[in-house]
Structure 1
Amino acid sequence: MEIMYRTARLAATVSALVAMSGLAAPAVEPTILNNLVTELLDLETPQTQAHRQYNFANPRAGWIFVSSAAAVRGAQSVKVILHTADGDVELAAHRDGRMAVHEAMRHLPAGEHTLSVHCEGGAALHGLVVRAIPEIVYPGLGYWTRQAMSRQSPYDWAFLKRIGIAENINVILERNFDASLDAVQWRQQGGKILTREGTHVMIKLRKESGQPFTADWAYEFLSGRPGLKRADRDGIMVSEFDGYGSQKDEYPALTEATQRLFSNPQFKGKVFNPYTVVLYRDEGGMAFVRELIKAGSKIVEERYLSEQPTEAEATALLSGWGIANLMKQYQKKMPDIQKHMIWNLGYMSAPPESLNTNPAVNYKVFMDMQLNCIANNPALAGLYGVMWYHSAYADEETLRWSAKLFRHYCIEGRRDMLGSDPYILPHIENPDFADGASGWNLSPATTGSMAVKHAAGYGRRQARYIGQSGAIENQGDYFLWTKRHADRPNTFSQPIKALEPGRLYSLKVITADYQELLSEKSTRAAHQLGIQIDNAVPAPRRSFQHVFGSDKLWLTYHFFVFRTKSDTATLTISDWVSDDHVYWPSEWGIQFNIEKWKKPGKTGGPVGRELMFSFIELQPYLED
């Protein structure tokens, strides 16, 4: 992916460098681009000399990004070599027929470093950029169990390469083995692999052993973890350690075990990165992480934030306790702790757990706002790393968007927002029926077959991350109820506004069976419905249904993608499967339990079934 070189520099004519061939160019003053990225070198004049060296100063032990641009023909070539204490590393080899831009990431110690560029056969180097960038972590490779909410699952390494994740991260958090990952190649090109561990496993094994939690026991447990023990892995990330007092008796033993662990040459270069939750509240916990930081490990602070009702409230959350003020609390305990911290944002966006809790808000914009705050707020200056948690709860559109956000903020060093869509979705009104039937045109099949109702706690059952991280309590408890009739459907509709002709949009709907909710006896089966959108063309290969369970209830998550032909349209949803509906999942090869009544022009399910409709979200869909 081509980095944004300055146009004037790319267009410059080839000219000879003033310095003699092979003379190293001195390191230049670094330029801070945002809180995450510092530019260490940007070639101003194309190199036509056969050999040239460039010095740069890495401001801290951490990741650097090197991008080189060259156009070569025939036998010409351009090579970029990094000189390290362990030997020379070829970062790029430009040859005829290869891409014009090569990129590489390497983890380097702080201090002076040198690149050598060799131009052969009259070739020229037209661009060379070196930047200090954050650690960018992808969690978690090999987490197969719940990646069912997409036609693209499983999210194996081959898929992640296709959607742009692989080229925009430098650390993989491994949950389970993935045969499509060439771990040797990944590490040879500079990437790292950490394995995921859980404190619940540590607690379970300790209880089974019947032994007290001592430094000896903790050391034996930790030293046996694959990420520390295996030579082809770079460490562990352990979930989780909190400041609520639940682990206060264990922190002294963990601190001593950590000291012993990293004084052992066997674990040189390894890391033990703990997931943390407001750990600044616990002095013993802070002593534990200070020991880890001293050994070169980082802490991974969890912050999973839900959408806010307005953009102003979202901004206040991020600049307040959601991100910036939380960091300030840590800094009171340890100044500059952000330089040893990976900020772990949540991008759960689909069942069984979702931070996309408000169908009136564009979740991709909220994701953009979070990284924008991290890139710009002074409290986060020099932050060591970032990650989104975690892929098993994210749909493939969100994964693709996260790659673009990483690129924008963590590699290009941008301060502006990546997207231009509004925070509040302008397309439909009252998508959660919180205002009754306002904005909707209800057409009941018969008297009393359709109404807006309420069920306490139903929003939580829809996988909304409610009651934590700024979420609105009781959001999603209202729904539209229909009772299926034998002779005609119940339908509800409203105009769709502010569409861009030719653009892709997604429509999400969550359904459940009302009587199953009341009886707490539920059957795992997809609910069938009819969706009609005029002036639109369906995109079936991007659409899917996902049946998920939540607290004794089976629900259906409907995800429908379409391309609009006009700036307005009409959305009609029915509890029948109509002849001309555009949502026909059985033709798309999705495997789920379709009810036997599903036929064109028929009810699509048993007469008398009481369906619950909620979370009617219509928003722009990321096309590439």
Structure 2
Amino acid sequence: MISPEDGAEQLVIEYGRGDRRTIEQMRFLDQGRYTVQVRLKDAEVSSLEIRLIPIINYERFHGSFQQMLGGYPEYDREFLTRCGMLDSINTIGTYDGFKWLKEWQNTGKHAIRIAGGHGFDFWNGCMNSYGVNGIIIDEFYPGISKNFPGWAEDLKRVKQNHPRSLCILYLAGAAKELRPLIEPLKDLDFYIAPEEQVYETRVTEQELIEKGFSRKWISGFRDSYFPGVSPRTVHSVGIYSGPSPSKYNDDVYPDRSWKVHRELHVHELATDPVHEGAGGIEIYQSTMCDEEYLRWMAKLFRHYCIEGSRERLTKDPYVLNHLENPDFEQDLEGWTVEAAEPGSVEVRKRKGFGVKVQGRHAPPDVGDAFLWTRRHAERPNAVRQELRGLEPGRYYSVKMITADHGNLHAWQLHNVSLHVGDPAIVMPQQCFQTVWRHHPAEEFGNKPTFPNFHRVVFRARSETVMLTISDWQRTYRHGSVPTAPVGQELMINFIQVEPYLMPE
């Protein structure tokens, strides 16, 4: 039981005969003194822990990856329960509510409305939507600063009408540009959510740590006009990844680890003194996040925000070195080539291919180099490379992106083989190939393009194994066969090999 000084008791945890596992509950509480009571009957308590937990917001529900892209699971309640996400958060952001919203709130947790408009009437109305516990407003940025003084007054009125409701403001900008909005609100009960979309860079892990993720942004507010900014900040960690219809894939370089990159970000929030007492953390957003990486974020929430750890969850390095030259930036260096005929395998470049077709959130030339093959009728084109530095017993994924050089605009599955040799054990349930639609780009005919995304997951049984990529489809009964048009020209790059987080 828990009770404030002048309030009624609330039952938080009830543990009955036959219960074996540890029971955990979270409750949002107003500031003040509380009494915790434990009532026992024919029982004893071996451990009772009370922890201060920040806001941990899952953004958003409903929503699945790219409108349920083929090969990906639906991000429904079952998935979020199974991967541990629902046990590792205390707030859910939603546009339209969800069927089990009241059930969720009855456990002491919150649901907040994502408010995509502006002005008092809109925000006040969103506060009354679906019985939510507050709103998160998307978004405020310098380009609309002429409205800041009036909106600051509107927000004060909204808070007066809903004094116990959460109000979080998405911010895209620095302290100076946002001052007319934030300074009038800094002593009121608002939270700010800086949009921390930090994409991969070609630096070392130590350089990444030294550069930091959000220290500079927070320091800008703290050192100018908002000394108490950290407790009022819900850090919005960008989780864009996987096949993207636009510029929303921050998994930019196949020789860098997205998972380690995000852990270093969260580790900074948990350990750097500038973030001490931070108000919370959230992810933006689930519908643009690869399913493995979403499961990884659930583990980071649990490790840092609930267990309170200050140690890294993984010792994996930021730089991936299982494969040499995975994006063909150094021509064919590191690869053994078996061409079906002279001139049927080479490395080419096409300006804008990585950003405008694949959706990498990167400088303009990243991803423009690719392996080009022309399919032959009698024998396959193939490139091979030995994967190295594997840990026997550990799971790994191999990812690859392909496109049709002659027709980027046709929806089609590309008949190629991404083969991991013996003695590795391939995990068929985790392997798939899917087509995704990228938005039209002027450089590519102002029409949608349709790349393919490939993933193979395997369990290593040795420190090295051979990876073979071929433009013939491989079948385990008949070997390689030419199951696609002879003469078809394919574009292949982003060969990424990294440790894989298996579903639980």
In the superposition, the TM-score normalised over structure 1's length comes to: 0.75
CA distance in 2 between partners of 1:489 and 1:231 (Å): 58
Partner of 2:425: 537
Give the conservation status (yes or no) of the 8 Å contact 1:328–1:379: yes
Instruction: Say whether 1:334 aligns with 2:221.
Output: no
Offset at residue 253 of structure 1 (A) = 1.8
1:408 aligned counterpart, secondary structure: helix
Letter of the 2:104 counterpart: W
Instruction: Say whether 1:229 aligns with 2:153.
Output: no
2:48 aligned counterpart, secondary structure: strand
Offset at residue 279 of structure 1 (A) = 4.2
CA distance in 1 between partners of 2:274 and 2:240 (Å): 25
CA distance in 2 between partners of 1:370 and 1:342 (Å): 14
CA distance in 1 between partners of 2:70 and 2:307 (Å): 30
1:125 aligned counterpart, secondary structure: coil
Partner of 1:142: 62
Instruction: Say whether 1:350 aligns with 2:242.
Output: yes
Partner of 1:124: 44
In the superposition, the TM-score normalised over structure 2's length comes to: 0.92
Letter of the 1:553 counterpart: T
Offset at residue 149 of structure 1 (A) = 4.2
Q: Which has the higher Rg, Structure 1 or Structure 2? A: 1
Partner of 2:482: 603
Give the conservation status (yes or no) of the 8 Å contact 1:143–1:176: no
Letter of the 2:131 counterpart: D
Offset at residue 230 of structure 1 (A) = 3.1
Partner of 2:90: 170
Offset at residue 611 of structure 1 (A) = 0.6
Give the conservation status (yes or no) of the 8 Å contact 1:147–1:393: no
Letter of the 1:257 counterpart: D
CA distance in 2 between partners of 1:603 and 1:177 (Å): 49
Please list the CA deviations of residues 126-151 of structure 1 after superposition, one character each: whole Å capped at 9, or x if unmatched: 11111112110101011247143464
Of 240, 246, 250 in structure 1, the residue corresponding to residue 147 of structure 2 is 250
Of 213, 226, 238 in structure 1, the residue corresponding to residue 137 of structure 2 is 238
Give the conservation status (yes or no) of the 8 Å contact 1:149–1:545: no
The more displaced of 93-102 and 291-300 is: 291-300
CA distance in 2 between partners of 1:452 and 1:379 (Å): 47
- The aligned runs of 1:380-529 (5 Å cut-off) are 380-460=275-355, 461-467=357-363, 473-517=364-408, 522-529=409-416
Of 202, 207, 222 in structure 2, the residue corresponding to residue 313 of structure 1 is 207
CA distance in 1 between partners of 2:97 and 2:279 (Å): 27
Please list the CA deviations of residues 511-551 of structure 1 after superposition, one character each: whole Å capped at 9, or x if unmatched: 0111235xxxx111221211221112221211222211223
Give the conservation status (yes or no) of the 8 Å contact 1:258–1:291: no
Partner of 1:574: 470
Letter of the 1:542 counterpart: Q
Instruction: Say whether 1:259 aligns with 2:156.
Output: yes
Partner of 1:157: 77
Letter of the 1:573 counterpart: I
Provide structure 2 residue ranges, at least 5 long, that are not aligned to the other structure. 441-447
- The aligned runs of 1:256-295 (5 Å cut-off) are 256-264=153-161, 267-282=162-177, 285-295=178-188
Give the conservation status (yes or no) of the 8 Å contact 2:65–2:75: no
Instruction: Say whether 1:92 aligns with 2:4.
Output: no
1:236 aligned counterpart, secondary structure: strand
Give the RMSD, CA atoms, in angstroms: 1.9
Instruction: Say whether 1:196 aligns with 2:117.
Output: no
Give the conservation status (yes or no) of the 8 Å contact 1:365–1:422: yes
Offset at residue 184 of structure 1 (A) = 1.4
CA distance in 1 between partners of 2:109 and 2:287 (Å): 22
RCO (CA 8 Å, sep 6+): is it higher in 1 or 2? 2
Please list the CA deviations of residues 351-379 of structure 1 after superposition, one character each: whole Å capped at 9, or x if unmatched: 21211111111221111111111111121
Offset at residue 411 of structure 1 (A) = 1.1
Give the conservation status (yes or no) of the 8 Å contact 2:235–2:282: yes
Give the conservation status (yes or no) of the 8 Å contact 1:168–1:406: yes
1:383 aligned counterpart, secondary structure: coil
CA distance in 1 between partners of 2:21 and 2:375 (Å): 60
User: Would the alpha carbon gap of residues 493 and 301 (structure 1) be closer, same or farther in structure 2, given more than 3 Å must change?
Assistant: same
Give the conservation status (yes or no) of the 8 Å contact 1:147–1:153: no
2:318 aligned counterpart, secondary structure: coil
Offset at residue 424 of structure 1 (A) = 1.5
CA distance in 2 between partners of 1:235 and 1:545 (Å): 40
User: Would the alpha carbon gap of residues 145 and 162 (structure 1) be closer, same or farther in structure 2, given more than 3 Å must change?
Assistant: closer
Please list the CA deviations of residues 233-261 of structure 1 after superposition, one character each: whole Å capped at 9, or x if unmatched: 01111211113xx1112112211211222
Partner of 1:620: 499
Give the conservation status (yes or no) of the 8 Å contact 1:149–1:350: no
Please list the CA deviations of residues 16-56 of structure 1 after superposition, one character each: whole Å capped at 9, or x if unmatched: xxxxxxxxxxxxxxxxxxxxxxxxxxxxxxxxxxxxxxxxx
CA distance in 1 between partners of 2:258 and 2:407 (Å): 30
2:104 aligned counterpart, secondary structure: helix
Identity in percent: 31
2:33 aligned counterpart, secondary structure: strand
Partner of 2:443: none
Please list the CA deviations of residues 369-416 of structure 1 after superposition, one character each: whole Å capped at 9, or x if unmatched: 111111111211111111121111112211111111111111111111
CA distance in 1 between partners of 2:65 and 2:45 (Å): 47
Provide structure 1 residue ranges, at least 5 long, that are not aligned to the other structure. 1-80, 203-217, 468-472, 582-598
CA distance in 1 between partners of 2:429 and 2:235 (Å): 34
CA distance in 2 between partners of 1:385 and 1:374 (Å): 9
